[in-house]
Amino acid sequence: MNWTDKLYDFNALQEPEWEPRGLVFDVQRFAIHDGGGIRTNVFMKGCPLDCLWCQNPESIRWRQDISFIELHCIQCRKCVEVCPVSAIETDGNEQRVTGIDRKKCILCGACFKSCYAGAINIIGRWLSVEDLVAMVRRDSDFYIASGGGVTFSGGEPTGQPKFLLAALQAMQGIGLHTAVETCLHIAWEQLEPLLSHVNLLLTDIKHMNSQQHSALTGVPNDLILDNFRKIAARNIPVRVRLPLISGLNDSTQNLQETADLVFSCKNVKGVDVLPYNRLGISKCRQLGSEYALADLAPPSREKVEEAARFFRDVVDDVTIGGA
């Protein structure tokens, strides 16, 4: 079982009856910056945050999405023929397919099934834990040889707690190192049962000021920081990730406060400074949505180094881009 098997398994488009079921939008082998060693990343759908700079906008909604990559379209117009609700947008003369009207689209997948060029995709497949284990265990030898394992990312993996718990247990059951990348915006009662099956948490600290955090991500940071400190008290290994967004969270004050927080929590094994990138722009276009930071430039190398220095003072392992 590979991810590509599910990608074109049209049955996996329908939400099944059975539990635990997971809505996953990618399973990426040879992920090498998300928890150490060679890993497989499981990208889960849905996120309670809506960060302005989101590089995986296809992950945000708790249900499936449809994307259109114009570059891949060969203008065969099959999608226009098969769409039952006339949701395929064409230019004025109806010559060229230009996009999808999300208001009309019912996510039936008919266009995706007939799009051999791979221009239209439904984002998200329903997986069982058994399927996921079958995919992930294919690279077990590489994890062992490199000190890697499996990383659940997203989206927000803890947003599907039943599936995540079962998946983590199953992965640990076959001896794999487990990492979970989480925004920590989740009720402690839901988070807590997961923690005993996690070897490493990857956690974003996006802004220390709650008001600012709200403006940038749509939610205040109180719950996040509260969870962060509880995890520190449990001494669960954490890597802190700081998305560095010019003008939004790179002030000296914010960096210093974040560094102070890291210093006060001895469970923090390292810090990854993740410079802002514009991956979200083309993805938003493919999803037919607006991207909030269209004009923002990635930070210069010097700026990134400067930010990293705040953390080098408080923890040994600081990377730019993740580890």
Partner 1 sequence: MRMDQYLYPYYAADKASLGAEKVQELVDLLWIKMAGVNKVRDEGSTQAFGGYPMFQNIIVGGVDRHGEDATNELSLILMQATANTALYAPSLSVRIHEGTPTLFWKKAAEVARLGLGMPAWYNDRVVIPALLSRGLTLEDARDYGIIGCVEPQVGGKTEGWHDAAFFSMSKVLELALNNGYDPMGKVQLGPQTGSVEDFKTFEDVVAAYQKQMEYFVKLLCHSDNAVDLAHAKNVPLPFLSGMVEDCIGRGKSVQEGGAIYNFTGPQGVGVANVGDSLAAIKKFCFDEKVLSLPELKAAMDKDFEGTEELRQMLVNRAPKYGNDDDYADEVAVMATDIYCAEVQKYRNPRNGIFQPGLYPVSANVPLGCVVAATPDGRKCGQPLADGVSPQGGFDTSGPTATVCSVAKLDHTVASNGTLLNQKFSPDSLAGEDGLQKLIAVTDTFFKRGGFHVQYNVISREVLEDAQANPDNYKGLVVRVAGYSAFFTVLDKSIQNDIISRTEQVA
Which residues here bind partner 1, judged by CB under 8 A?
Answer: 2-5, 8, 28-34, 36-38, 55-56, 69, 71-72, 74, 76, 78, 116-118, 138-139, 141-142, 145-148, 241, 243, 272, 274-279, 281-282, 285, 298, 301, 321-323
Residue the block writes with tokens 């398994």: 9
The dihedral through the CA atoms of 277, 204, 317, 150 has a sign that is negative
Closest separation between CB of residue 217 and partner 1, Å?
16
Closest separation between CB of residue 208 and partner 1, Å?
20
Closest separation between CB of residue 147 and partner 1, Å?
7
| Beta strand segments in 1-87, E | 21-31, 39-44, 65-68
Nearer to partner 1, 190 or 292 (CB): 292
| Beta strand segments in the chain, E | 21-31, 39-44, 65-68, 88-90, 97-100, 120-123, 125-128, 149-154, 177-182, 200-204, 238-244, 268-275, 318-320
Q: In this structure, are residues 180 and 158 in contact, taking their beta carbons and an 8 Å threshold?
A: yes
Nearer to partner 1, 104 or 138 (CB): 138
CA distance 58 to 50: 11
Closest separation between CB of residue 6 and partner 1, Å?
12
Long-range contacts of 72-75 (CB under 8 A, 24+ apart): 72/117, 72/118, 72/119, 73/97, 73/117, 73/119, 74/117, 74/119
| Beta strand segments in 85-231, E | 88-90, 97-100, 120-123, 125-128, 149-154, 177-182, 200-204
Closest separation between CB of residue 277 and partner 1, Å?
4
Closest separation between CB of residue 193 and partner 1, Å?
27
Provide the 8-state DSSP code for 148: -
Strand 39-44 and strand 97-100: the pairing is: unpaired
Nearer to partner 1, 17 or 316 (CB): 316
Closest separation between CB of residue 271 and partner 1, Å?
13
Nearer to partner 1, 158 or 165 (CB): 158
Nearer to partner 1, 133 or 166 (CB): 133
Closest separation between CB of residue 18 and partner 1, Å?
25
Nearer to partner 1, 39 or 213 (CB): 39
Nearer to partner 1, 167 or 245 (CB): 245
Nearer to partner 1, 20 or 37 (CB): 37
CA distance 46 to 142: 29
Beta bridge partners of 178: 150
The candidate with the shortest Cα–Cα distance to 242, out of 275, 265, 287, is 275
CA distance 170 to 130: 8
